Amino acid sequence: MGRAGPGRVLLLSAPVGQGHVAAARALAARMRALWPDAQIHEVERTGRGSRWRDGLLQHAYSVTMRFAPGLYGAGYDLLVRCPRFARLCKWVVAGRLGRALAPLLDTERPDLVISTYPMTSGGLAWLRRRGRLPARAVAVVTDVAVHPFWVWPELDETWTLLPESRAQAQAVVPGGQVRVVPPAVGPGFRPGDQVAARAAAGLPADTFVVLVTGGSLAFGGLEPLVEAVLAAGAAVQAVVLCGRNERLRARLLARGEPRDRLVVHGWTDRVAQQITAADVVLTTAGGMTATEALSVGRPVLFAAPVPGHGCAGAEMMARAGLAVVCPRPADVTAALRGLRAEPSRLAALRRGAQAFGHRDLDGELAALAERV
């Protein structure tokens, strides 16, 4: 199909958190710019009967991560450490999702189908095994850490974020077509002018700004982390993104902190601007939050990362020189003080983040078009 791009593209995601959907939307935007003649269809659900299933998945994920994150972490660790259990779970999920996706694939008949949600990728693998998926199929991993549900040998390609991520995927499926590809983030998530971003956000130019976020649901116990940021010094300002967690936003506003110390936002579509304005990004999550920060060229501090993919991804990014892991709030305070006292450490982290962010996603998509 060459440089003109595929004729029909189907992008599949699911609203379990916002990272999977955000990645699919970012890919769609870039594809429309690269392949103006292509028909690109985004589907943000898991197929037939998805209303109740997606609602249940989203609610279960939100409740578990907010009230029982250790349970999620235990399930994640079980999948990673027990291959037989993982294979059984994948077999069950793939069949259910494959049957649900079959009518959509039969109707769309795409040349290229991309999935940013691991269970949906499993449904595509189930269809491929039954000869019902002739399109080229790509699984895009939105987390640095790769758990077994991300990798399906029946799919043509699996896209990962770091060489260590690729190694993890190949350990799950030896011989699989696994590539290291830039993160699927929107065009706005790129290195920009920090001074201009601060002026647009109404932030002072001479303050050390720490952007605090727990992803779209703001889970992970952000209030002690805000305290830890403020304890790092009077010249440190915390900017908190509360996402859809209105209770957290109300509690932080009730503190009555002056704006030069604490700025609180609810849901916003200006995340790229907020990241560009910051010196570092402090998060309890992984996935899109961290990759968006790195794509802008900002170092990441993982504070008490959530169990499961949060901890695994944080450790991998730290080993790659892209992040600092702070297991306790006190470690956050110490890390921020250290980075301010030793600018060379902050500069080294920033160089690593900038190298991560300068990779060419559009080039990878153009190369993909040649393989369709």
Q: What does the pLDDT read at residue 2?
A: 43
Average of pLDDT values for 219-246? Answer: 90
Q: How confident is the model at residue 1 (pLDDT cuts 50, 70, 90)?
A: very low
Q: What does the pLDDT read at residue 226?
A: 95
Q: How confident is the model at residue 214 (pLDDT cuts 50, 70, 90)?
A: confident
Q: For residues 194 and 51, which has the higher predicted lDDT (pLDDT)? A: 194
Looking at every residue in the chain, the average pLDDT score rounds to: 90
The yes-or-no answer to whether 2-181 and 194-357 have a common fold is: yes
Q: Where are the domains of the chain?
A: 2-181, 194-357
Q: Could you please report the per-residue DSSP string of 84-120? A: HHHHHHHHHHHHHHHHHHHHHHHHH--SEEEE-SHHH
Q: Which fold has domain 194-357?
A: Rossmann fold (3.40.50)
Give pLDDT tens digits for 286-337: 678 889 999 999 999 999 887 887 788 889 999 999 999 999 999 999 999 9
Please determine, for residue 219, whether its predicted confidence score (pLDDT) is greater than 70: no
Q: What does the pLDDT read at residue 9?
A: 98
Q: For residues 333 and 248, which has the higher predicted lDDT (pLDDT)? A: 333
CATH 3.30.43 describes domain 2-181: no
Question: Residues 6 or more apart from 312 whose CB is under 8 A from it?
Answer: 76, 80, 144, 145, 147, 286
Chain centroid offset of residue 358 CA: 17
Average of pLDDT values for 334-358? Answer: 92
Tokens of 251: 């509690």
Give pLDDT tens digits for 230-240: 999 999 999 99
Q: What does the pLDDT read at residue 49?
A: 67
- Cα distances (angstroms) measured from residue 178 to each of 23, 164, 170: 18, 11, 7
Give pLDDT tens digits for 151-186: 999 999 999 999 999 999 999 888 889 999 999 998
